[in-house]
Amino acid sequence: MQHTSISPSRIVTVLGLFILFSSKLYSQAFNFSVTNQYLCYYGPSTYTTGATVSSSAACATSYTWVVAGPALTPSAQIASVPGGSASAISFSACGVYTITCYAYNNGIPCTNVAQTVEVVCPNACSVTATPSTPALCASKIATLSSACATTYTWYAQPVGSTVSNIGTGPSLTVAPNVNTSYTVVGITAQGCSVSATKSYSIQQATMTVSPLNSTLCPGAPLTLNGAGTAVNGTNVAAGTATTGFSWYNPSNTNIGNLNTVLTAAAAGQYTAVLTHTGAAGTCSLLATVNVSTINTVSLTLKGNNVLTPSVCPGGSVTLTGTITASSQTASPGYTWSAPASPNFTGNPVVRTPTVATVYTCIVTYYGCTGTNTISVAMSTITPTLSASSASTCPNRSLTLTAIGGINYTFSAIPAVGPATANITKPSPTVNTVVHIPTAAQLPIQYCVNASSVGCLGSACTTVGLLTLNTTLSAVSPSICPNTNVTLYSNNGAGTTYTYASINYAATIGTASSSGPNTGTISHNPGISFPHTYTVTSDSAGCLGSSILQIDQKNSYSFSFSITKFYLPRNFCNYNRIRWCRNHIYIFCALCYA
């Protein structure tokens, strides 16, 4: 078995590598930490950090700290404190400082480690503004940007108001209306805060325009009004003055350089431009109005100033048309028509219809048309007609009276026979007539046709045949059979009565009266009960009737008279009874054996 020999030089080399590896291992493990890697410099002051051994050196029995940097020449040595910490390390100037921690073993340095701390002097921050002028037209857009940090927050403070956060990022746009300061606050990569401010003073004016919205016929007159005022105060730039006012149509053509312009209407948007000068130079303020166009207009027609006119036949009516279009600097054209009549033009127009008529009107106004109709009715009057009596006897005079008109024509329409078209009277304006109807004419209808200033009206009334209030009575409502009953009627002098028996279906007689209750007749009904009588009365053609029922008596009171006689034997078998009114006489024969 062979053995390989190792030379002494190789042994030394391996031992050296082991020692070197061990040294590096100890060196990597030894470290310390600082409380602030970066300190932000904001002017002359003392900026402090602390240092502490975070991983001990294996060989160390004590530590020493050495700081070297721009403001430390020669390097400063800081004594160690128990636990391997350094006392507070202070700096007074910007720059990069090196802090070295030395590990000692019984007074002999055995290892060390170093770190840097930077006192950062941030670069000066600024805001780049477009436009960069100190004054700005109101509502004009400005762009603000900054490049001095890695993150940005923007703040705005309008004059007289509190600060508000308006956004983040390296740039943003603004459109102030009052004097405003804008501040950006940035954070650098080292965590330092930087800031910058941009302020704008605002040149401002105000304007109003009218009407904001219009609807017109194409080409119709359109009046546009505008007004502008410069604004000067504590919250805007001073010295502002208005310098001009212009109007532009939807085609962007200038139609006038005055506050108020008159133009032909076209559909679209009209723009008003107010110019003003001041701290920001010449600024323009814009406002718009909208115009819509239509092809038809609403046409309203009236007659004698009402929507539903009426006139008397032949009376005059004034027809008027009105359209809704505003600013009528030119008169619309009106064309009228009516059945069986030629067209006529104008507005207003006067017509004299004799019958109810519908008029049609067509209006033309610039590029619009409109159509409507109006009905003119015939007015009537409402007369009243009254008679002196609602019913009458034939051949008696009746007085008829009419009111509600000026001229009157009376007529009669009888129940039988021809009508009387015109009852004679002295003149058309007389409103009373007298008429004597015959028996054949009753009942009769009377009518009047009245007129007043061309207006017509009619009324009618009916006069009936007067019926007599005839009564039929007797002394007693019941009688004995085969006795007479006296009947009475009461229609006064000159009345003729005809009496009849319903039971016998025959007339039983007539009577005449010369005074109340003097129409009488006597009759024997025999044994026919109950017995019904009728009477028909006639007084100068006026008729009446009545009916009466007579009953048989069926309730009696008796009185007896008894006389005793001795009669021959042949009378003994007879009893005789005699009835006479309210007494019964009994004859009785007493017989002997």
pLDDT score recorded for residue 73: 58
**pLDDT for 240-265, tens place per residue?**
999 999 999 999 999 999 999 999 99
Whether the Cβ atoms of residue 336 and residue 361 lie closer than 8 Å to each other: yes
User: Do 150 and 282 belong to one domain?
Assistant: yes
Share of the chain above pLDDT 90, in %: 54
**Last residue of some domain: 120, 148, 180?**
120
Answer whether residue 2 is part of any domain: no
pLDDT score recorded for residue 88: 80
Answer whether residue 256 is part of any domain: yes
d(CA 379, CA 310): 5
Mean pLDDT of 78-102: 80
Answer whether residue 182 is part of any domain: yes
The per-residue pLDDT of the chain, averaged, comes to 84
- Stronger pLDDT, 440 or 369, i.e. the higher one: 369
pLDDT score recorded for residue 20: 37
The CATH number for 529's domain is 2.60.40
- At residue 2 the predicted structure's pLDDT band, cuts being 50, 70 and 90, is very low
User: Do 542 and 563 belong to one domain?
Assistant: no
Answer whether residue 13 is part of any domain: no
- At residue 415 the predicted structure's pLDDT band, cuts being 50, 70 and 90, is confident
pLDDT score recorded for residue 12: 32
**pLDDT for 485-529, tens place per residue?**
988 888 766 788 899 999 998 999 888 876 555 678 889 999 999
Q: Is the pLDDT of residue 1 over 50?
A: no
Answer whether residue 417 is part of any domain: yes
d(CA 88, CA 78): 9
- At residue 351 the predicted structure's pLDDT band, cuts being 50, 70 and 90, is very high
Q: Is the pLDDT of residue 68 over 90?
A: no
pLDDT score recorded for residue 514: 66
Query: Helix, strand, or coil here: 56?
Result: coil
User: Do 270 and 136 belong to one domain?
Assistant: yes
pLDDT score recorded for residue 91: 86
User: Do 159 and 232 belong to one domain?
Assistant: yes
User: Do 315 and 193 belong to one domain?
Assistant: no
What are 220's two structure tokens?
């119709």
pLDDT score recorded for residue 81: 64
Q: Which of 102-116, 163-177, 211-225, 406-420 has the lowest mean pLDDT?
A: 406-420
Q: Is the pLDDT of residue 60 over 60?
A: yes
Answer whether residue 9 is part of any domain: no
User: Do 156 and 254 belong to one domain?
Assistant: yes
What are 444's two structure tokens?
């009769």
Q: Is the pLDDT of residue 467 over 80?
A: yes
Shortest CA distance to 498 belongs to which of 487, 486, 507, 485? Answer: 507
Q: Is the pLDDT of residue 566 over 70?
A: no
Give residues with Cβ within 8 angstroms of 54, minimum separation 6: 31, 32, 33
**Last residue of some domain: 378, 406, 426?**
378
Q: Is the pLDDT of residue 466 over 80?
A: yes
pLDDT score recorded for residue 495: 84
**Last residue of some domain: 293, 309, 330?**
293
User: Do 357 and 388 belong to one domain?
Assistant: no
Answer whether residue 68 is part of any domain: yes
Q: Is the pLDDT of residue 558 over 50?
A: no
User: Do 454 and 514 belong to one domain?
Assistant: no
pLDDT score recorded for residue 465: 85
User: Do 548 and 560 belong to one domain?
Assistant: no
pLDDT score recorded for residue 518: 64
What are 358's two structure tokens?
């519908």
**pLDDT for 158-204, tens place per residue?**
999 999 999 999 999 999 999 999 999 999 998 999 999 999 999 99
d(CA 544, CA 469): 6
Q: Is the pLDDT of residue 538 over 50?
A: yes
d(CA 342, CA 208): 51
Q: How many domains in the chain?
A: 6
H, E, C per residue of 148-200:
CCCEEEEEEEECCCCCEEEEECCEEEECCCCCEEEEEEEECCCCCEEEEEEEE
Answer whether residue 536 is part of any domain: yes
User: Do 155 and 231 belong to one domain?
Assistant: yes
Strand order in the sheet with 80-81: 31-34, 47-55, 85-91, 80-81
Task: Tell me whether strands 72-78 and 31-34 are parallel, antiparallel or unpaired.
Answer: unpaired
Mean pLDDT of 460-480: 88
> What residues make up the domain containing 591?
556-593
Whether the Cβ atoms of residue 530 and residue 572 lie closer than 8 Å to each other: no
d(CA 357, CA 314): 12
- At residue 381 the predicted structure's pLDDT band, cuts being 50, 70 and 90, is confident
Strand order in the sheet with 384-387: 384-387, 398-403, 432-435
d(CA 352, CA 314): 5
pLDDT score recorded for residue 10: 37
Give DSSP secondary structure letters for 280-322. TEEEEEEEEEEEEE-SB--EEEEETTBSS-EE-TT--EEEEEE
pLDDT score recorded for residue 492: 66
d(CA 33, CA 85): 10
pLDDT score recorded for residue 371: 95
In which residue are the tokens 């409507």 written? Answer: 372
pLDDT score recorded for residue 439: 83
Mean pLDDT of 231-238: 93
**pLDDT for 21-39, tens place per residue?**
344 444 458 999 999 999 9
Shortest CA distance to 282 belongs to which of 249, 243, 246? Answer: 243
The CATH number for 188's domain is 2.60.40.10
User: Do 158 and 242 belong to one domain?
Assistant: yes
Q: Is the pLDDT of residue 586 over 60?
A: no
User: Do 181 and 68 belong to one domain?
Assistant: no
CA 14 vs CA 6, 11, 17, 19, 26: distances in Å: 11, 5, 5, 9, 18
Q: Is the pLDDT of residue 74 over 90?
A: no
- At residue 455 the predicted structure's pLDDT band, cuts being 50, 70 and 90, is confident
pLDDT score recorded for residue 470: 85
Mean pLDDT of 575-588: 42
